[in-house]
Amino acid sequence: MGIGRGYVAEDNYDKTDYPGQLWDILRDERDRPKSRSDQEILDEAADCVTRNGKTECPQPLSFKAERWAAFLIKHDIPWPFLETGSLDLSDETFRQMARRYPQVAPMRELRYSLSQMRLAELPVGADGRNRCMLSAFCSRTGRNQPSNAKFLFGPSVWLRGLIRPEPGRAIAYVDWSQQEFGIGAALSGDVAMQDAYLSGDPYLSFAKQAKAVPADATKKSHPDERDQYKICSLAVQYGMGQQSLAVSLGKSEALARHLLGMHKEVYWKFWQWSQGAVDHAMVFGRLHTVFGWEVHVGNRSNPRSLANFPCQANGAEMLRLACCMLTEQGVKVCAPVHDAVLIEASEDKIHEVIEQTQDVMREASRVILDGFELRSDVNVMVFPERYMDDRGARMWNKMMRLLEGQERRLREFTDAEF
């Protein structure tokens, strides 16, 4: 697996190495954005101001809160405000709103991409592989915390299209299914929550257990209800309150309050266990995982972070254990990524190695969760395929079209001139 440059296509397709061109552009250290205090910029700004109010300087396109507010009004999209009365333009808010309103997703991806377009700091060896310090145990939960500027899984998701196996090789992204939901269900001993996880679709099962949909409901027959109960389940894992959940849903706080109430009613034992973890931390000043990783509680500790600690931290333990076991069994682990591993093998062995990896991940979950087993999902890429996250596919395809158009215009210009 490497940072793939070679763009391989069938004979009837354009064979131009557009991903390679993109890589060169992103790695180019020239034309870096200048500091706001750069003297050349200040001189140009002063010159513009003194031209009798007539600014002839070329103005780059930029994001304006006023234009964004007009867009939101036009598309009837409710948007959260800060206490100051201004629109909340944080990336986290854009991320939540993009889940609910597809019109927001392209703008969110563009804003995030522009903030991380330069990959000059990404360490890539002569063999085309990205290597960096994973910074294990750097977060309070014990999860890895590699630098976003040095780890290819750190920048915007569309850039992961640069990952591609070498000829004759294949890679697979194997991740635990709804890991934190399963961890909470197992460690809390909540039977209803365990049944929901074991059903294969915990979010639809939650809706059924809450009597929000009939017992024979499916993902296709009740997509809206399932989506609402999914968002609620994820919100609980991240410690969201009803206001934040309402924003994620794009619905009223009354509905958000109702959904949280149903979660507390259906999974009461989970909530009892979660509150017990917070109480234990407050009384004894610490919490620990099944392997002993501790978080120490101070005067400013956030109860929501403490409630989320057992699921996040034991998830980190599970990933470390799986990586150790896979390495000992000879599986080539390219990278651990939160609740997943990226593995590599020869094209003819990849499915065998995937089965081995999934067996190890099931065993690691059983060790951490006292016998409760978590499932895993797989995404396989065989040369010449590229790694592609669904959330970034649209942006990647757009960038390839832009480069293709630029290449075509350059050829047309060259033919016309010479």
Instruction: Please write the tens of the pLDDT for every residue from 336-362.
Output: 998 999 999 999 999 999 999 999 999
Structural domains of the chain ordered from first start: 180-315 (1.10.150.20)
Check whether 10 has a pLDDT greater than 50.
Answer: no
Amino acid 404: pLDDT: 78
Residue range 390-410: average pLDDT?
76
Mean pLDDT of the chain: 83
Closest CA to 224 of 198, 260, 249, 254: 249
Residue 146 near residue 139 (C-beta atoms within 8 A): no
Confidence band for 287, pLDDT divided at 50, 70 and 90:
very high
Amino acid, single-letter form, for residue 279: D
Q: What pLDDT digit, counting tens, does each position of 139-160 carry?
A: 989 999 998 888 888 877 888 8
The whole-angstrom separation of Cα 325 and Cα 318 is 11
Check whether 237 has a pLDDT greater than 70.
Answer: yes
User: CA dist 317 to 24, 143, 321, 368, Å?
Assistant: 38, 8, 6, 8
Residue 306 near residue 288 (C-beta atoms within 8 A): no
Confidence band for 9, pLDDT divided at 50, 70 and 90:
very low
Amino acid 7: pLDDT: 36
Check whether 172 has a pLDDT greater than 90.
Answer: yes
123-130 contacts: CB < 8 A, separation 24 or more?
123/150, 124/3, 127/2, 128/2, 128/3, 128/4, 128/5, 129/1, 129/2, 129/3, 130/2, 130/3
Cβ density class 144-182: b for 16+ within 10 Å, e for less: bbbeeebbbbebbbbbbbbbbbbeebbbbbbbbebbbbb
User: DSSP H helical segments within 50-189, as ranges?
Assistant: 65-74, 91-100, 105-115, 179-188
Check whether 90 has a pLDDT greater than 90.
Answer: no
Sheet holding 340-346, edge to edge: 332-337, 340-346, 169-176, 376-382
Residue range 379-401: average pLDDT?
85
Give the pTM: 0.75
Closest CA to 250 of 31, 377, 102, 361: 102
Residue range 201-222: average pLDDT?
94
Residue range 101-122: average pLDDT?
73
Amino acid, single-letter form, for residue 415: D
DSSP string, 332-368: EEEEEETTEEEEEEETTTHHHHHHHHHHHHHHHHHHH
SS3 205: helix
The whole-angstrom separation of Cα 109 and Cα 113 is 6
Range of 194-198, 293-297, 298-302 with top mean pLDDT: 194-198
More confident residue, 96 or 147: 147
Residue range 371-400: average pLDDT?
88
User: CA dist 279 to 240, 270, 285, 296, 342, Å?
Assistant: 19, 14, 9, 13, 37
Closest CA to 396 of 164, 119, 158: 158
